[in-house]
Amino acid sequence: MGGRVAYDPSSHRLLPDYFPELERCDVTHTTSQREDVSEEAHDTDAAAATTATTATTRPQPTDRPLFECHSRCGCSADCASRVVQKGITLPLEVFMSATKGWSVRVLSPVRKGQFVSEYAGEVVSTEEAQRRWRDEYDRAGLNYLLVVREFIPARGATLRTNIDGTRLGNVSRFFNHSCDPNMLLFLVRVGSLIPRLAFFVCRDVAAGEELTYDYGHGSTQAADAPATRQCHCGARHCRGVLPFDPLA
């Protein structure tokens, strides 16, 4: 990636205190009762009048909001709907790639749909994300700002979440792009309107294989666009350049 910055390998995100919690569920169950729990979404802006589902496994993309049980729910810590909040359980290794810089591989086989990790970092406003990119990261050759947008059809609005993993974060900041990735990114809410950005594998992954996701989620970018970087993913249908979001 280039550039150097002081880095705290924290596994937690920094959430502003003023963000409200979501309502609790009234379900009482444990891992001995592993039915797929589907509860009606609570009446919040994030729910968007759709159905909430658990995130035990996520092999396919979904446009439905995903919720996990949390500390205010009536279930125990062994609830099958508590996945992302338990953190990383797979053996992951950061290594230096010959062409892509720092990279991450998994040391044991992973089955399709299994949770890998959350993209941890500071939750910042769009204005702060733009300032950091403009004043600090662009000139230093750094880009650990992950920006996601959710469209809420019922309200005709877009919810934007900016997570900066530059100084505070975890191993996920070293996941590289691939035009043919083996992970997908899902937004999962755990007792807060702010989503957690969770990576799940979208196919079986072999031990020693690098973990990757699509930075542009299938978007394309002209090779002569500003600030482009050559893509080294090696995929058969590689797009040639890395996707780039100018934080507009």
Rounded Cα gap, residues 244 and 150, in angstroms: 18
The identity of residue 200, as a single letter, is: F
What secondary structure letter does DSSP report for 99?
A: T
Task: Retrieve residue 188's tokens.
Answer: 């999962």
**CB within 8 A of 21, min separation 6: which ones?**
70, 72, 191, 192
Q: Which of 137, 112, 108 is nearest to 209 (CA)?
A: 108
- pLDDT of 201 > 90? The answer is yes
Looking at the annotation, which residues are catalytic? 119, 215
pLDDT at 152: 78
User: Quick check: helix, strand or coil at residue 140?
Assistant: helix
Reported as a single tens digit per residue, the pLDDT across 231-242 is 999 999 998 888
User: Is there a contact between 22 and 191 (Cβ–Cβ < 8 Å)?
Assistant: yes
Reported as a single tens digit per residue, the pLDDT across 13-52 is 554 444 445 455 655 544 433 333 333 333 333 333 233 3
Average pLDDT over residues 218-225: 41
pLDDT at 1: 44
Enumerate the domain spans of the chain. Answer: 3-22+60-213
- pLDDT of 215 > 70? The answer is yes
What percent of the chain is predicted at pLDDT more than 90?
Answer: 38
Reported as a single tens digit per residue, the pLDDT across 80-130 is 788 888 899 999 999 999 999 999 999 999 999 999 999 999 999 999 999
Superfamily of domain 3-22+60-213: SET domain (2.170.270.10)
What percent of the chain is predicted at pLDDT more than 70?
Answer: 68
